[in-house]
Amino acid sequence: MQNMKNTKVSAMHERTMMRRPSSFVEENYAREVGAYRSSRRLMPLLLLGDAKVVLDQLPESSIDFAMTSPPYWGKREYEGGGIGLESDYRDFIRHLSDIFLSLKRALKSEGSFWLNIGDTYQEKGLLGIPWRVAIELTDRQGWILRNSVIWNKVKSGMDNTKDRLGNIHEHVFHFVKQTKYYYDADAIRSKPREARIVNGAVVSATGVSGVRYKRQIELSTTLSEKEKREAFKALDQILADVGAGVISDFRMIIRGQQRATHSDSEKVSGRAKELRDRGFYFLRYHPNGSKPADVWDIMPEDTQSREAHYAPYPVDLCRIPILATCPAGGVVLDPFCGTGTTLLAARDLGRQSIGIDVSRQYLEIVEERCATLL
Ligand SMILES: C[S@@+](CC[C@H](N)C(=O)[O-])C[C@H]1O[C@@H](n2cnc3c(N)ncnc32)[C@H](O)[C@@H]1O
């Protein structure tokens, strides 16, 4: 998450000040959160204060999902104090970890925490802050790290260095509290294309009709006659499954024909054994589509030519985390909410949300953004 531009923020802040009084909660946080949850309204609840102080007052196990991007260490330009300006990065990591321990207490046991965190150079050395924080959380606080997503920002920002590569990625870590947690993989699958019938034959979404495989089986010099008969039968069955929508697509691996996708060692790979014993195997595609992988290509907010672009933490970065790990009716929390991108994503996806920030100015911008986007 890059630094926000103070000029843009100030202009927005001035406009907000002219519009209406703000309605942030500055005390009795727990009571206000309770009232907000019962109201079921989707407009975010904004809590002004230090993240740790506020989190420590929230009821235990009351939050379904948290996602945040804390300030960079040593690069902050934000208003209102807060963390990021410690002279030693180790103090920054300690402060941040303290806050995440308080967050853990407030998070439900099946809850998820997604952390987008940027790195910093010091005397030419990349500090590795994201992983230092992740290891602190797993080793000292008992969080389980489920994924380390690489956010590929596609285009790098200004970089005048002449002795290293440009930096184009950041980490988004997915932490959980226990091995059993809420996860809706179907909510984030890409929609599969459907099979078609061409000239009376089933053709899968990616154009697999079985004709090529049949020819390969027929002409194979490495399959026995019995294996060929078995392979034809299995191929007909899988084509029938595609036609019936039981699977969306498949690939057939035939001994001596395709490049194998398994380890060659029959000791470690069931597929290698299948290929040895039967002469073929299938790769079946999930009928609900494929799951996203852990590299996401998402342009930073200010390069997507949207009007409201105060910070390059894009709304799109929050979509997969919320859809997969915040149940419908659950509540989203961002303890460093800044201009409220996580909260806007939550609202767009029909979830209630709570934002904490130490800066009144930023919370005013959240209100403005919410009003504008209604
Ligand atoms: C990187 S920004 C978050 C940007 C946000 N993702 C957005 O979409 O705008 C970090 C935010 O953390 C806030 N902050 C810093 N220290 C804090 C603390 N101790 N408690 C609460 N907020 C804090 C800053 O005011 C800033 O708004």
Same-domain check for residues 208 and 117: no
Same-domain check for residues 141 and 223: no
Same-domain check for residues 254 and 123: no
Convert the pLDDT of each residue in 194-229 to its tens digit.
777 777 777 877 778 888 899 999 999 999 999 999
Q: Which residues line ligand 1 (CB under 6 A)?
A: 1, 50-51, 69-71, 78, 80, 82-83, 311, 313, 336, 338-339, 341, 356-359, 362
Range of lowest pLDDT (15-24, 67-76, 106-115): 15-24
Q: How many domains does the chain have?
A: 2
| Higher-scoring residue by pLDDT: 127, 75 | 127
Spatial separation of the C-alpha atoms in residues 243 and 133, rounded to whole Å? 49
Quick one: which of 89, 106, 90 has its CA closest to 29?
106
From residue 197, alpha-carbon distances to 79, 151, 243, 339 in Å are: 61, 39, 8, 50
pLDDT at 176 over 90: yes
Helix (H) or strand (E) holding 196: strand 196-198
- Is residue 65 within 8 A of residue 325, CB to CB? The reply is yes
Task: Kindly give the distance from the C-alpha atom of residue 143 to the centroid of ligand 1, in angstroms, as a whole number.
Answer: 22
Range of lowest pLDDT (46-60, 75-89, 258-272): 258-272
Same-domain check for residues 217 and 182: no
Closest residue (by CA) to atom 16 of ligand 1? 82
Q: What is the CATH number of the domain that holds 128?
A: 3.40.50.150
Q: Which residue has the tokens 């990065």?
A: 89
Convert the pLDDT of each residue in 251-267 to its tens digit.
899 998 866 555 556 55
Same-domain check for residues 201 and 183: no
Query: The tokens of 145 are what?
Result: 């790290």
Task: Kindly give the distance from the C-alpha atom of residue 81 to the centroid of ligand 1, in angstroms, as a whole number.
Answer: 10
Q: How many CA atoms within 13 Å lie on the side-chain side of 53? A: 10
What pLDDT, on the 0 to 100 scale, is given for residue 303? 45
Same-domain check for residues 101 and 248: no
What pLDDT, on the 0 to 100 scale, is given for residue 308? 37
Radius of gyration of the CA atoms of the chain, in A: 26
Helix (H) or strand (E) holding 171: strand 169-176
pLDDT at 107 over 60: yes
Same-domain check for residues 203 and 343: no
Convert the pLDDT of each residue in 314-350 to its tens digit.
999 999 999 999 999 999 999 999 999 999 999 999 9
pLDDT at 237 over 80: yes
pTM of the model: 0.80
Percentage of the chain lying above the pLDDT 70 cut: 85
Cβ-proximal residues to 233 (8 Å cutoff; 6+ apart), any chain: none
Check the CA dihedral 320-326-332-336 and report its sign: negative
Q: Which domain holds residue 256?
A: 196-285
Q: Which residue has the tokens 């235990």?
A: 60
352-357 and 331-334 strand pairing: parallel
- Mean of the per-residue pLDDT values of the chain: 87
Same-domain check for residues 103 and 228: no
Percentage of the chain lying above the pLDDT 90 cut: 63
